Chain A
Amino acid sequence: QQPVQSPQAVILREGEDAVINCSSSKALYSVHWYRQKHGEAPVFLMILLKGGEQKGHEKISASFNEKKQQSSLYLTASQLSYSGTYFCGTRGDSSASKIIFGSGTRLSIRP
């Protein structure tokens, strides 16, 4: 089942913060986050495993709440280069050989 991302789109001014959520109706084993710029390939950001871990990647971090079956991506002090569409991808269990992607959150950063 496809995870649900929110919001669908967000517009920020440079330096502002954003949170992107990814929710599933089923239990999650892991959550993958990718960013895609228009017309380009998605680029891997990070993977989170069940266990409620939190990861960081420069000013981009994420959390995974296993009980709530959701993950959140945090972008702090946003830069123009953060613009793009962010996708979460989920695996339901350790035997799952494929990732199911959400429909994406479009992030626009203005100077």
Chain B
Amino acid sequence: DGGITQSPKYLFRKEGQNVTLSCEQNLNHDAMYWYRQDPGQGLRLIYYSQIVNDFQKGDIAEGYSVSREKKESFPLTVTSAQKNPTAFYLCASSISSSAAENQPQHFGDGTRLSIL
């Protein structure tokens, strides 16, 4: 079955530490996205990538970094510059990011990040 796999499911970060969240998809989708979700709130876009080797900042990119070296992988690094990283992180993908094609986004099961 095709889908999006996020790992780990739970992650703990120490002060001053960088951590990387994994996101892998086997749907052959071009576009991938990272969202942050805080309790009782909606999804806020961190970064997105429309194609391999290209990515753009979303609405809350500060303190985060990404790479897109392979079509199926879009890891997110939460750096020490992100002072309030505790949240639920969701990765998503879609066939295309083009509004004209209007494709839905498919989400992974998320990673819950907490500070130690």
Contacts of A99 on B, CB cut-off 8 Å? 45, 105
One of A44, A49, A91, A97 near B50 (C-beta < 8 A)? A97
In the complex the two chains form, is B107's CB within 8 Å of A101's CB? no
Number of chain B residues whose Cβ lies closer than 8 Å to a Cβ of chain A: 28
Interface positions, chain A 12-41, Cβ under 8 Å from B, are 29-30, 32, 39-41
Interface positions, chain B 73-116, Cβ under 8 Å from A, are 88, 90, 97-100, 102, 104-110
In the complex the two chains form, is A97's CB within 8 Å of B109's CB? no
One of A41, A44, A49, A87 near B110 (C-beta < 8 A)? A41
In the complex the two chains form, is A103's CB within 8 Å of B109's CB? no
Q: Using known A-B contacts A41-B110, A97-B48, A98-B48, determine if residue A32 contacts B104 with beta carbons closer than 8 Å.
A: yes
9 A-B pairs with the lowest CB-CB distances in the bound complex, closest first? A41-B107, A44-B104, A103-B42, A97-B97, A101-B43, A101-B42, A94-B99, A91-B99, A96-B99
Residues of A within 8 A of B (CB): 2, 29-30, 32, 39-44, 47, 49, 87, 89, 91, 93-104
What are 12 sample pairs from A and B whose C-beta atoms fall under 8 A apart? Answer: A32-B104, A40-B109, A41-B107, A42-B107, A47-B102, A91-B99, A95-B99, A97-B31, A97-B48, A99-B45, A101-B44, A103-B40
